[in-house]
Structure 1
Amino acid sequence: MPVKRIHSYAIAAALVFAGITKMVLQASAQSTLILPTCLGKSVTIPIESAGAQLMHCWGCYALLLGLLAFGALLLNDLRHSRLRTRSVLS
């Protein structure tokens, strides 16, 4: 496997790892939502079950991009390996 291909896989893996890490950190960072009200007061709302709404950040896009890159690289490698096998057998 050429070095350029290994670097592409490493970048895709780094995007997946960074995306998952950011989503986990985002989900665990906030446990309450503080809403300001009139006259300088505020209302505190626990958001323990918000889940996906809290995890939606740039981590989602990094994870998606990394998974798409992995898929494209794997499909390309599969196509090239089939072409090599076909040419050897011919």
Structure 2
Amino acid sequence: MDPINVIITFEAKPERASAFAELMNQVKQSLPSADGCRGVRLFGRSDNDCVFTLVESWASQAHHQAHIVGAVASGAWDALAGELAREPVSCYCREL
């Protein structure tokens, strides 16, 4: 299995942008301890305080998908989704 990057862009509800930024920083700190996660980078758009992008590095796509299954099962994903203005946009990417 080849390493993979996951790029996810979130748009928080305007009234929740500050709290969502704190949540994203918590994810940045805690996610690297997940099985198969090799690191996380967090970006905020300079022209929109509500938009955040996570760039996650995983040992494999299967590791990431297993993590998502766990996040959904635990209810953690629902808590995060409640902060969003719209569905997140994500893709798997390999570095060229």
TM-score, normalized by length of structure 2? 0.27
TM-score, normalized by length of structure 1? 0.28
Higher relative contact order (CA closer than 8 Å, sequence separation 6+) = 2
Could you say which structure has the larger radius of gyration?
A: 1
- Compare the two structures and name the one with the higher helix fraction: 1
